Every structure is written in C-alpha cells, then in structure tokens.
Amino acid sequence: MLSVEDWAEIRRLARSEGLSIKEIARQVGVARNTVRTALRSEAPPSYRRKKGSSIVDAVEPEIRRLLMATPRMATTVIAERIGWARSMTVLKDRVRELRPLYLPPDPAGRTEYRPGELAQWDLWFPATEVPIEVGKARLPVVVGVSGYSRFMVAQMVPSREAHDILSGNLACLISLGAVPRSGVYDNEGALVSRHGGKATLSAPFQNFRGMLGMKVIVLRPRDPESKGVVERHNGYLETSFLPGRRFSSPADFNAQLSEWLVRANSRVHATLRCRPTERFEEDKAAMMPLPPVLPDTSLKGTTRLGRDHWVRVGTCDYSVHPKAIGRLVEVSATPDLVVVTCGGEVVACHKRSWARHRTVTDPEHDRAREQMRIARGLLPIDEKDDEVEVRDLSVYDRATGVA
C-alpha cells in the first residue's frame, strides 16, 4: 500500500517540478499506475481494515425486525426473544450500532430569548456577613438578569419577607428603566404557594405584577436548571464580586455592588461573545415602560394600639407616641423606614432595623409616657432619676393596732 509520505512526494513532483509519470515512478520507486492513482486521489491513502464476520451476523435480521417494531427494546429482552446464548458483549455492541437507525431523530434544542421577552429573578445569599446595627448578618440579595442582553441588576434587602423581596425587585426594575414582559421566579415561600401541585401567587405579589403588567412564570419545584441564566450570574457574583471586599453596612454593600455592576455589564459575555451593554438598548426598547404609578411594595397593616405602645414589624418592636393608645393606627414599613400614622397624623417614624429581635424606642415617646403617667397621678411629680418612695413603717403599726 502506498504510504502517505510517497503520496505527498508524488503530488509534489507532479505539481511543483512538472515531472512525467514515468520519471516520478522511477524516482519514488513505484509503478506508473500507482503514480496515476495518487495523482487522481484528493485525499491521502488510509488503511481500512476489512470487516470480518461475527457470530451476530446470523441473527442480525431478527434483531432489525425487533428494533423496527420497538426501537427502545432492551438488549436483554432482544437476547431472550432471539434465543441468544452466546456472549452478551458482542450482542450489545451490534444492538448499539443498529438502534439509532430505528429511533426517531432527537435534535438538541437551544434556548433563545427575544428582546424584552423576559428576565430571570432569584435570591442570592452571599457567603459573607454584613455589619448591621448589632453584630453581623447574612442578608439576601435580589438578582435579576435579562434573557436577551444578559444585563444584570441586584439589590440587598433586609429579609425574605414578601415586601422586602418586592422592594428589591422594584429597585432593580427602576435601575433597568423598563419592565420585561415576563418574569421567571422559583417557588420562594413569601411569593408563591403550592396547593395540589398548582402555583398560587401571594396577594402582594399579585398586586406587584398587576401594577407592572408583567407576566409571571413560576418554575416547577427543585428545577434550578430552568433559570440557569440567573443561577450562573449568582455564581459569577460569588467568585468575582465578593473576594477581597469588606463592607461596613448594607448600604455600603449596595453601593459597592452598584459600582461593580457597571463594569460587569460592560465585560464580554462568554455565551453572547459581546457585551451586555451592547444589546441592552435593543432589549430595553422592546420592554414595557415603567407605569406612571409604581407599585407600593411597603408592608401595610392596621392595629389598635394597646397600653404597651410598641408595634411589631418582622421581629422588631418600634415605639409609638402614647397619645395614640386605644386608637387604630396604620403601620407602613419599607427597607429604610417604619412609619406609624393615626388619623392621618404621623405618631412614629423610625429607621428600619435590619437586626432581629430589637426594641427601637424614640426618647420623645418615653418623655410623653412619663408626663401622661404623672398627669394621671400614677407617678409623683418630683420623682426623678428613678428614685423610689420609702414608706414609713409606723403606718403599718398603727393600722394593725400594734402601736
């Protein structure tokens, strides 16, 4: 058989040197017909071993008949049907070779996103604790990624409660400047409940998506692959944003994250082979505009204020002016503030505590309580510095007739 080296030399002598077939045959030491064959061939010679016979050849027609009727029939069942008593290895090899001929084509799909079509949303829990009022806490971050441009937005929030998650979601949409037509969410307990396998959105979530006019797609439980875009971006945040950073507060975390996102959205995306910012304008143009009236994502509640004039938001208690005792008060909480009103008048305004199990008291409310107790005669007017009145014990002697 002609070697690849001789084949290449023959073609060189003919094309480059312009030698005749007879001269080439003399120089290379091969027959002239071999030279002619090499010149006609556009591919180098290769050795193909002649396929030998196999013990499966005799039963191959029967195997084909079974696969034609049932393409996914197991090899062990085929062996039983044809009465195979020889090596299973050679039978499995032949069935593996023949089966694709009878299976319907199964091409792999590729997920493609149209401009403005959807964004995927998730909660990311950074592997670091952020300083809060007392101690440190590991707080959730709302992360959103547009499917078409892969433009990423994110915001740290105080808790996994619905009003905090939706506040972070709204902040992300405001930074986008538009609303994707659909949002993909997993089964976060504060937003979605399942009954009989059917997903039901919570009332705050329904109000939120209704004000935005956004479609909500809820994934099946335990199906993170269906929102793989945002899951991969969570990993990118973990490996590229967090390392080497220190944070003094949640506000500092959000400030550093916002600055980093500008650079992250300007990098060349590994899948798109372009920068998310280069596709974002087209993406944003196809999204819905923000509504003229944004959704109110604050926590709302009404309660009758008791003598213990504190209201609870999450796990923390916030003082209220005691003049509202016995009256209905409206409580509103955002990630930043807790505001209590009574009849349209603000009776408490506190900075929201991101720590848990805290009691937040306004000194003015303390003074008002003391003044009201003095006015009712519950405290002596001259009581100061927590002094306790000392009772004259002779009073008890006279009352009991001892003295």
Task: Give me the mean pLDDT over the 159-184 stretch.
Answer: 96
Task: Give me the mean pLDDT over the 375-380 stretch.
Answer: 70
pLDDT of residue 344: 92
Per residue in 194-208, pLDDT tens? 988 899 999 999 999
Assign 240 a pLDDT band (cuts: 50, 70, 90): very high
CA 183, 188, 192, 198 torsion-angle sign: positive
pLDDT of residue 401: 66
Task: Give the residue carrying structure tokens 């009581």.
Answer: 383
Query: HSE on the CB side for 226, CA within 13 Å?
Result: 13
Is residue 209 pLDDT above 80, yes or no?
yes
Is residue 111 pLDDT above 80, yes or no?
no
Radius of gyration (C-alpha) of the chain in whole angstroms: 39
Per residue in 312-335, pLDDT tens? 999 999 999 999 999 999 999 999
Is residue 403 pLDDT above 70, yes or no?
no
- The order of strands in the sheet holding 337-342 is 299-304, 328-333, 337-342, 345-351
Which pair of structure tokens corresponds to residue 149?
């441009």
For residue 353, the Cα-to-chain-centroid distance in whole angstroms is 26
